[in-house]
Amino acid sequence: MNTLTERIQTLDGLVWQPFAMPLVLVIVGGLLTAATGLVQIRRFPAAVRFALSGIFGRKAARDGTITPFQALSTALASTVGNGNIGGVATAILIGGPGAIFWMWVCAAFGMATKYAEAVLGVHYRVRRDTGELASGPMYYITGGIPAQGLGKGLGYAFAFFGACTALFGTGNMVQSNTVARTFVEAARSNAGLEVPQIVPGLLITVLVGLVLLGGIRRIAAVAERIVPAMIVLYVAMAGLYLVMNIGQVPQVFGLIVGGAFTPSAAVGGFAGATMAQVIAAGVSRGVLSNEAGLGSAPMAHGIAQVGHPAEQGVVGIFEVFVDTIVVCSLTAFVILSSGLWMDPAYAGASGDLTAAALSTSIPPASALVAICSLLFGFSTLIGWCYYGEKCFEFLFGSRMIVPYRAIFTALVLVGSVISVPLVWAIGTLLNGFMAFPNLLGLLFLTGTVRRLTRDYFGARASSAQ
């Protein structure tokens, strides 16, 4: 098992070295930022407005399967997950404090990328033989790239790696693994009990299986209810911790910015990191968390009931902001201010490090983090099952949906008991393979994104005059 882990980590390191996937993400995000006229900055007020209008009950009598807010909730269900609890922790343990800076860079460009993905998802969505709408990179790549051979090849490559990621990567086993570990940490610190990881693994497996029986409408309905509550709970707890330790915030910010450009030396239990490791850890965990460029979220955004693709595009901007700039940043400041990231006892940790860090100032925090991890992991699992299901449907037809759901549910249990280094290496490696065909597709379709953006915001500007 150690040999397998080392080989996967080596391959993962090649994919996420600074001049490989991180560079591609920045190039594509930069081009989309320019093509849309700094959409993530200029249209951020519109993003907040659309998101809030969904929260307060605006209904849209338009073509689509789910409401815009349900689409946002489903997308947030898969993005605001244990990548925010365990992913941030592993980024710091691998790359040091500077990894968080590169996570922020990833998000800054990722807002434009997620905007483009949502816009294209709505524009190129199709109706499958089941009667349901379907969307995602496999449809906008095959439908939007004029060269049919290239478009078909990239579309099928995305669907294959998307299905693999949903089954074996960040959409499945990473989530159940973090849920199990945080549950075990809570039982140990709060009740002095040693609980086997398979116990919480069985719990999350049963819960996921029950929801998946209802398909996308049940997934969206569940996400719409639990996602806002779980984000508020976690943000409130992390915010309280920072208020209690407010004096350390400037020092932590200095660690993050300074560590972004200076290799992190070994200190305490931290083994140190090269500049390449700092960038790779930040960008890979950033993509794992906010999924911008990955191609997953447009499968949910693309079936929203909206009048114009750009309306759902700005909702995608808000999604990345909440996930990385708010939730991931809070986790990072908690971990770094606690000092536990340098403790040898947490060298192989993930979400359990976050729980322990919060507990240094809020004693019952490990139990609350276990609850948040369960909710985060549960919501991400049901969201990603839908994503993988759409990829399977594209590859093999609708008849494979039920067998796919059964395999997905079984792998939730497997993921809960395997080692942390292996499960995270598999997750980030598959993210890279999944993102590459999607990013190439976005490059080819940048002109379409520009045209749709000008069409919508240009018309609004003209009507306001």
Q: In this predicted model, what pLDDT tens digit does every residue of 92-119 receive, in sequence order?
A: 999 999 999 999 999 999 999 999 999 9
The mean pLDDT of 336-341, rounded to a whole number, is 94
pLDDT score recorded for residue 55: 61
What is residue 267's three-state secondary structure? Answer: strand
Q: How confident is the model at residue 465 (pLDDT cuts 50, 70, 90)?
A: very low
For 193-197, 306-310, 341-345, 424-428, which range has the lowest pLDDT when averaged over its residues? 424-428
Q: In this predicted model, what pLDDT tens digit does every residue of 74-84 receive, in sequence order?
A: 777 667 766 78
The mean pLDDT of 435-450, rounded to a whole number, is 97
Mean pLDDT of the chain: 88
CB atoms inside a 10 Å sphere around CB 160: 18
The mean pLDDT of 207-226, rounded to a whole number, is 74
Find out whether 264 and 272 touch, Cβ atoms under 8 Å.
yes
The angle, 0 to 180 degrees and rounded to 10, between the axes of the packed helices 68-79 and 44-55 is 110
pLDDT score recorded for residue 171: 81
CB atoms inside a 10 Å sphere around CB 461: 10
Reading the block at residue 178, the tokens are 């973090």
Residue 246 has pLDDT above 80, yes or no: yes
pLDDT score recorded for residue 358: 94
Q: In this predicted model, what pLDDT tens digit does every residue of 179-212 receive, in sequence order?
A: 888 888 888 888 888 899 899 999 889 888 887 7
Residue 25 has pLDDT above 90, yes or no: yes
Q: How far apart are CA 83 and CA 100, in angstroms?
A: 13
- The candidate with the shortest Cα–Cα distance to 439, out of 294, 300, 342, is 294
pLDDT score recorded for residue 19: 85
Any bridge partners for residue 287, and if so which?
none
pLDDT score recorded for residue 56: 58
The mean pLDDT of 170-174, rounded to a whole number, is 83
pLDDT score recorded for residue 76: 73
Q: How confident is the model at residue 71 (pLDDT cuts 50, 70, 90)?
A: confident
Residue 72 has pLDDT above 80, yes or no: no
Return the top range by mean pLDDT from 56-65, 74-83, 185-194, 329-338.
Answer: 329-338
pLDDT score recorded for residue 115: 97
Q: How far apart are CA 36 and CA 6, in angstroms?
A: 41
CA angle 39, 41, 47 (to 5 degrees): 75
Reading the block at residue 73, the tokens are 């909730």
The mean pLDDT of 299-306, rounded to a whole number, is 90
pLDDT score recorded for residue 58: 52
Helices (H), 43-147: 44-55, 68-79, 82, 88-95, 98-123, 137-144
Residue 334 has pLDDT above 90, yes or no: yes
Instruction: Please report the sign of the dihedral spanned by the C-alpha atoms of residue 276, residue 278, residue 279, residue 280.
Output: positive
pLDDT score recorded for residue 417: 85
- The candidate with the shortest Cα–Cα distance to 335, out of 319, 312, 351, is 351
Q: In this predicted model, what pLDDT tens digit does every residue of 369-417 receive, in sequence order?
A: 888 877 877 888 888 888 999 999 999 998 888 899 999 999 999 988 8
Q: How confident is the model at residue 59 (pLDDT cuts 50, 70, 90)?
A: low
The mean pLDDT of 10-38, rounded to a whole number, is 92
Q: Which amino acid is at 405?
A: R
pLDDT score recorded for residue 1: 65
Reading the block at residue 289, the tokens are 């968390």
pLDDT score recorded for residue 81: 67
pLDDT score recorded for residue 160: 97
Residue 353 has pLDDT above 80, yes or no: yes
H or E element at residue 9: helix 2-15
Q: How far apart are CA 72 and CA 62, in angstroms?
A: 16
For the chain, domains (ranges, CATH) are: 8-453 (1.20.1740.10)
